[in-house]
Structure 1
């Protein structure tokens, strides 16, 4: 059976940091499934809507060679359900979340990957505003 890797993110204003973490996540298994945060969830998490609509963000991520499937993440509390539904063997998150998902270690392996230095969506948006 193929090893399934699961990760989550907003993937707004897509940049090379997004691409690199998805590529590295895909190397940990044979199948990469990505949960795209809905617009509503993003507003709850960050207090603002994403620049790009959830359908556009999903289309961008789904088009990547390293991604095998996408779905909408509607709630942070549903992560255990998503892990089970997608039969994830590995949960990958950026290291800015270090330790925050260790509780799911009984469902799958949890891996935190280093973020690409000196780039974030927030920084890109601020640069554009300036």
Structure 2
């Protein structure tokens, strides 16, 4: 009998932490289902994505560890999904610890450690900081780098 694992997430700015999560899930079960949060659901949570839902879902769907991608449209759907897809394991990041224990009557609930030193939130913060640098400062920095490159040749 095959085991089914499900997880939920936005998967915006797909990074190695996402990839490691999906790989870990594939080691837990024979079938991996990923619910990718829709743009509308994210807006309701107060989150703005950089990459539209259709593209995020397509990226996740293309990962070899993933068997099925479904849209996450509400908080309530988790209970329905666990029943509908006959889920054995519900897995999500440890930052949600305790929030989904109510599912433990239907399946095993696992809170997974996040990949250290990488998160979409940090990537967005870094990008925002980078974009806040005045263009003239960036231009000067690139000129200095170009001079250094020439000196090394």
Q: TM-score, normalised by structure 1?
A: 0.96
Report whether the alignment pairs 1:64 with 2:78. no
Please give the secondary structure, in 2, of the residue aligned with 1:112. Answer: strand
Runs (5+) with no aligned partner, structure 2: 130-153
By how many angstroms is 1:48 displaced? Answer: 3.2
1:54 matched residue in structure 2: 53
2:24 matched residue in structure 1: 24
2:40 matched residue in structure 1: 40
Q: Distance in 2 between matches of 1:49 and 1:128?
A: 14
Number of residue pairs matched by the alignment: 129
1:113 matched residue in structure 2: 112
Q: Which structure has more RCO (C-alpha within 8 Å, separation ≥ 6)? A: 1
Please give the secondary structure, in 2, of the residue aligned with 1:88. Answer: coil
Q: CA RMSD in A?
A: 0.8
Please identify, of 54-63 and 36-45, the stretch whose mean Cα deviation from structure 2 is larger: 36-45
String of CA shifts for 1:32-63, please: whole Å, max 9, x gaps: 00000000111122x13210000000000000
String of CA shifts for 1:58-94, please: whole Å, max 9, x gaps: 0000000100010001001111001111111100001
Moved over 2 A (4+): none
CA contact (8 A) 1:11 1:57 kept: yes
By how many angstroms is 1:25 displaced? Answer: 1.3
1:73 matched residue in structure 2: 72
By how many angstroms is 1:2 displaced? Answer: 1.2
2:140 matched residue in structure 1: none
The structure having more radius of gyration, on CA atoms, is 2
CA contact (8 A) 1:40 1:49 kept: no
Q: TM-score, normalised by structure 2?
A: 0.82
2:9 matched residue in structure 1: 9
